[in-house]
Amino acid sequence: MSDNSEQTRAQRREMPEPYESNFPAPWYVIVFVAGLFIWAVGYIGMAYRDAPSSLGDHRVAADFVVAKAAPGAAIDGGQIYTSHCLACHQATGQGLPGVFPPLAGSEWVDGKASTTIQIVLHGVEGALTVKGTTYRGQMPTFKDQLDDGQIAAVVSHIRASFGNSAGAVTADEVKAERERTKDHTAPWNGDAELNPFK
Ligand code: HEC
């Protein structure tokens, strides 16, 4: 920068123009970042599942496993209840007044196991009386969604929960009930069709 009288004072005061040069990130920074990345992935893999559920939303790894009827494996009826029934009959088994009937203390649950199995297999529509109240809702069909073992597990669960104390049912009983009404395709028509099963 010569003493050129053409340059103004302001021009002379400025720093020289910046110029680009080849200045790669030092190898140790690259190694450090790569190491951090590998550590982070490993950390997620190791720490996530086994962290105490009290630190999160209290769900444990088992809550995310969808029940599959693996041969010989015990099926968790409570889990099937949570995924397939709870939305309507509620966690307490009390249902919703006037909309979804209670399972707690229900004569349909505490009575003959075959009746409860038939209700879960085919579902119900039309007027159904539960504990003196008539419901006119639609209970979905589960015969294509749940296998014999799963229906046995969930029926056993509701018969032993919410204050109910009826006995457990086996997959063989469900199989027999499924066979007995295999030609039935529509949901049961409430009291009219189900009372004879009682
Ligand atoms: C979409 C809501 C819904 C779901 C999901 C549902 N139900 Fe129901 N359930 C009903 C309704 C509604 C009725 C009454 C039907 C009627 O009024 O005709 C009923 C009736 C019943 C009854 C006979 C009445 C009583 O309260 O005892 C049983 C037993 C039953 N459901 C068990 C189950 C089980 C077990 C599951 C899960 C596998 C299940 N339900 C899933 C809505 C549902």
| Other residues' Cβ atoms within 10 Å of the Cβ of residue 81 | 20
What's the half-sphere exposure (Cβ side, CA atoms, 13 Å) at 125?
A: 6
In-domain check, residue 187:
yes
pTM for the model stands at: 0.70
In-domain check, residue 169:
yes
Q: Could you tell me how far CA 72 lies from the centroid of its own chain?
A: 23
Give the closest residue to 146 by CA, choosing from 136, 156, 137.
156
Our answer on whether the CB atom of 188 is closer than 6 Å to any ligand 1 atom is: no
Among 76, 84, 89, residue to substitute to test ligand 1 (most atoms within 8 Å of Cβ) = 89
Residue 170: domain span: 61-197
For residue 154, the 8-state DSSP code is: H
Our answer on whether the CB atom of 78 is closer than 6 Å to any ligand 1 atom is: no
CA 150 – CA 115 distance, rounded (Å): 16
Could you report the per-residue pLDDT of 1-31, keeping only the tens digit for each?
445 556 777 777 777 777 777 778 889 999 9
Among 80, 88, 90, residue to substitute to test ligand 1 (most atoms within 8 Å of Cβ) = 88
102 CA from centroid of ligand 1 (Å)? 8
Q: What residue owns the CA closest to ligand 1's atom 34?
A: 85
Atom of ligand 1 nearest to the CA of 87: 5
Contact (CB, 8 A) for 160 and 168: yes
| Other residues' Cβ atoms within 10 Å of the Cβ of residue 108 | 21
Residue type, 113: A
Could you report the per-residue pLDDT of 116-175, keeping only the tens digit for each?
999 999 999 999 999 999 999 999 999 999 999 999 999 999 999 999 999 999 999 999
Q: What is the CATH number of the domain that holds 117?
A: 1.10.760.10
In-domain check, residue 15:
no
